Amino acid sequence: MSIALKQVFNKDKTFRPKRKFEPGTQRFELHKRAQASLNSGVDLKAAVQLPNGEDLNDWVAVHVVDFFNRINLIYGTICEFCTERTCPVMSGGPKYEYRWQDDLKYKKPTALPAPQYMNFLMDWIEVQINNEDIFPTSVGVPFPKNFLQICKKILCRLFRVFVHVYIHHFDRIIIMGAEAHVNTCYKHFYYFVTELNLIDRKELEPLKEMTARMCH
């Protein structure tokens, strides 16, 4: 990684603290294995496949936390350019607008400026991945029955961060020299969610043309 890119992805730019896995746990070992595959330059399509004998929920949990950390970091690099003035709505070009709903303060889908939407989104995900009842860290504690449904919603909303960054802020990513890093992260995410059918295909529409060029 170049010095310029290291400066882009330094810890001061992280949008919020990273969630880590406890050493010695099964999930930590899976996390290490997933990272080793990526670092070895292995084919990303192969890297996302569920390893033989491993639990699907564990595999998904590791990746959801990892993608949250990475996408968080990507948005953190451009968040000073994503303001209520530049991005008064959370959108992906003129055809796609994303409205916020959390069943707490916002019980109905509500139009928000992109930075506000992003803050709510990252807070909402962080609460869930730090909730032991949803993402248990103790050995032998089962995942909830609706775990995959929860993860599908998290991943669907994380995809919207990619949509907004690619369509509205990719010029900044290029200026920072982070294009290759962001593209690799996107490809990894795309292969993972499509391999395990974790995102509805219609949600992927906003980046369909770019994805076809990049991932096929």
Residues contributing to the annotated binding site for Zn(2+):
82, 87, 164, 169
125 near 68, Cβ under 8 Å?
A: yes
Q: How far apart are CA 135 and CA 147, in angstroms?
A: 8
Q: How far apart are CA 89 and CA 81, in angstroms?
A: 14
48 near 66, Cβ under 8 Å?
A: no
Give binding residues as ranges.
82, 87, 164, 169
What is the DSSP code (8-state) at residue 110?
A: B
Q: How far apart are CA 86 and CA 89, in angstroms?
A: 9
153 near 121, Cβ under 8 Å?
A: no
For 97, phi then psi, to 5°, come to -125, 135
Q: How far apart are CA 64 and CA 70, in angstroms?
A: 10
200 near 130, Cβ under 8 Å?
A: no
